[in-house]
């Protein structure tokens, strides 16, 4: 058994829907590596909002600031109303500017591809996700509306408007993060994704910043791709790409596309990184209709645990955990329904049983 060098204190946020189940599976698997973890459990999300009127209480932020590392379950974001995304609020409050989403194909996963090992690195703080939007007619937006009218375009009176913010500062920061990530992990190429042919003043800033930073890393190949072409390229030949660095919206979309290449969101982890702070969470949503059914695939959450262990300097434990997950998926026996060739296969196991299988497989590494 691998023993941690010292005790790590980690903030644990169970989340909504299936969150508590998959995060519990991840917690058990992380502990089974032998690394010493003290979990500080705090609550965020729908139930907290109903109780205290705030889905992200200050005590959650304070816990993450204090511990510097968090493992978080998915949290429901209401569509069209209610509170704003807790994920977006977390990223803004803690300046978690880099979202890292590895999309790696594990043999046994349901996919038509045979070779995919991509990492999508997404700028987390700007772009349309800055949340600066309004409807025409609001009294405090008249000056801006006049500017927009002077710029031309088809500005209809019933329009909703979102502002796309791309700064040189944030763009250089995320591109440099992508190159440092690639260099540290021995990856060979970084591709900047943009739409600068159309959005010359926003995506243009991102592309210029990417080219400037790339010159500082002559040991790593650099290229850029227009986002729509990038989508086609990824479907046709994902094996020729390595690290993708993107503004916020494109990163969100492309990371789901890449997850589809390797078998779906159920096996895709992510981490949100700032200066000295990292929050690890599965890419998939809270799937409330499956809450409490012991049915959800815990793979993404368990792989978040492996990413977290690597971040904590526990590389051997991280590799051990990832190898165990890979073995369980490859064997295809003790896996949830979505990892079976036939989703109705009666031999499919539940969330906790798949975690048991991963823990058992770790004994062989």
pLDDT in tens, 207-217: 999 999 999 99
Distance CA 270, CA 286 (A): 15
Q: Residue 140 has what pLDDT?
A: 57
Q: Which of 262, 278, 313 is the last residue of a domain?
A: 262
Residue 144 has pLDDT above 90, yes or no: no
Q: Please indicate, yes or no, whether residues 115 and 218 belong to a single structural domain of this protein.
A: yes
Query: What mean pLDDT do residues 83-105 have?
Result: 88
Directed axis angle between helix 351-362 and helix 299-311, to 10°? 40
Q: Do 348 and 258 have their domain in common?
A: no
| Nearest residue to 314 via CA among 73, 34, 64, 29 | 34
The b-or-e profile of 212-238 (16+ CB within 10 A means b, else e) is ebbeebeebebebbbbeebbeebeeeb
Distance (Å) of CA 73 to CA 20, 168, 196, 301, 302? 7, 32, 35, 8, 11
Range in 41-50, 252-261, 268-277, 299-308 the model is least confident about: 41-50
142 and 80 together in one domain: no
CATH number for 311: 3.40.718.10
Identify any residues that bridge with 226 across adjacent strands, giving them in sequence order.
194
- Give the pLDDT of residue 146: 73
The answer on 192 and 116 residing in a single domain is: yes
Predicted confidence (pLDDT) at residue 150 exceeds the cutoff of 90:
no
Determine, yes or no, domain membership for 104.
no
Please state, in angstroms and rounded to a whole number, the distance separating the CA atoms of residues 62 and 94: 10
Residue 174 lies in a domain: yes
Model-level pTM? 0.91
Looking at the structure, tell me whether residues 119 and 137 fall in a common domain: no
pLDDT band at 161 (very low <50, low <70, confident <90, very high): confident
- Same domain? For 123 and 59 the reply is no
In a domain, 344, yes or no: yes
Whether 155 and 216 map to the same domain: the answer is: no
Last-in-domain residue among 233, 262, 291: 262
The encoded tokens of residue 209 equal 């910043």
Residue 106 domain flag: no
Q: Would you say 362 and 324 are in contact if contact means Cβ atoms under 8 Å apart?
A: yes
Query: In this predicted model, which residue has the larger pLDDT, 40 or 148?
Result: 40
* Any domain includes 181: yes
Active-site amino acid positions? 129, 195, 228, 252
Do 234 and 277 have their domain in common? no
In a domain, residue 272? The reply is yes
Domain boundary among 223, 243, 262: 262
Tell me which DSSP letter residue 96 carries.
-
Q: What is the pLDDT, as a whole number, of residue 152?
A: 63
Give the pLDDT mean for 323-330.
Answer: 98
Residue 5 has pLDDT above 70, yes or no: no
Q: Is the pLDDT of residue 2 over 50?
A: no
Specify if 25 maps to a domain: yes
Residues 92 and 38 in one domain: yes
The HSE-up count of residue 267 (CA atoms within 13 Å, CB side) is: 29
Q: Give the number of domains in the chain.
A: 3
3-state SS, 222-256, equals EEEEEHHHHHHHHHHCHHHCCEEEECHHHHHHHHH
CB 81 within 8 A of CB 112: no
Domain match, 203 and 230 both: yes
Residue labelled with tokens 């497989």: 361
Three-class DSSP category at 24: helix
Range of the domain at 137: 132-163
Of 2-16, 18-32, 171-185, the one with minimum mean pLDDT is: 2-16
Answer whether residue 42 is part of any domain: yes
On whether both 117 and 150 belong to a single domain, the answer is no
Mean pLDDT score, 307-317: 96
* pLDDT mean across residues, the chain: 92
What distance in Å separates the CA atoms of residue 258 and residue 320, rounded to the nearest whole number?
24
Per-residue pLDDT at 40 exceeds 90: yes
- Tell whether 203 and 116 lie within a shared domain: yes
138 pLDDT band, cuts 50/70/90, is low
């Amino acid at each position: 058994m691998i023993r941690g060098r010292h005790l790590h204190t980690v903030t644990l946020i169970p989340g909504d829907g299936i969150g508590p189940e998959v995060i519990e599976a991840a917690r058990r698997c992380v502990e089974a590596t032998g690394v010493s973890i003290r979990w500080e459990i705090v609550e965020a999300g729908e139930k907290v909002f109903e109780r205290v009127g705030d889905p992200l209480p200050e005590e959650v932020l304070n816990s993450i600031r204090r511990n510097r590392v968090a493992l978080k379950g998915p949290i429901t974001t209401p569509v069209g109303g209610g509170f704003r995304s807790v994920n977006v609020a977390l990223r803004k409050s803690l300046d978690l500017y880099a979202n890292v989403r590895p999309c790696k194909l594990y043999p046994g996963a349901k996919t038509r591809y045979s070779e995919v090992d991509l990492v999508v690195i997404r700028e987390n703080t700007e772009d349309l996700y800055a949340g600066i939007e309004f409807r025409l007619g609001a009294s405090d937006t008249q000056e801006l509306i006049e500017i927009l009218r002077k710029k031309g375009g088809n500005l209809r009176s019933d329009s909703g408007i979102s502002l796309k913010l791309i700064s040189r500062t944030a763009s250089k920061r995320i591109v440099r993060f992508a190159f440092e990530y690639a260099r540290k992990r021995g990856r060979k190429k970084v591709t900047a994704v943009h739409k600068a042919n159309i959005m010359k003043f926003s995506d243009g800033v991102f592309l210029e910043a990417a080219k400037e930073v790339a010159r500082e890393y002559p040991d790593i190949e650099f290229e850029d791709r227009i986002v729509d072409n990038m989508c086609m390229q990824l479907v046709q030949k994902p094996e020729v790409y390595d690290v993708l660095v993107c503004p916020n919206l494109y990163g969100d979309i492309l990371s789901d596309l890449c997850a589809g290449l390797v078998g779906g969101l159920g096996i895709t982890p992510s981490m949100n990184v700032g200066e000295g702070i990292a929050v690890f969470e599965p890419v998939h949503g809270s799937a409330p209709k499956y809450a409490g059914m012991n049915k959800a695939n815990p793979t993404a959450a368990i792989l978040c645990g492996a990413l977290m262990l690597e971040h904590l300097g526990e590389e051997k434990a991280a590799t051990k955990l990832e190898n165990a997950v890979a073995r369980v998926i490859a064997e295809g026996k003790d896996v949830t329904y979505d990892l079976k060739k036939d989703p109705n296969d009666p031999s499919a196991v539940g969330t906790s049983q798949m975690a048991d299988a991963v823990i058992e497989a770790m004994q062989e590494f």
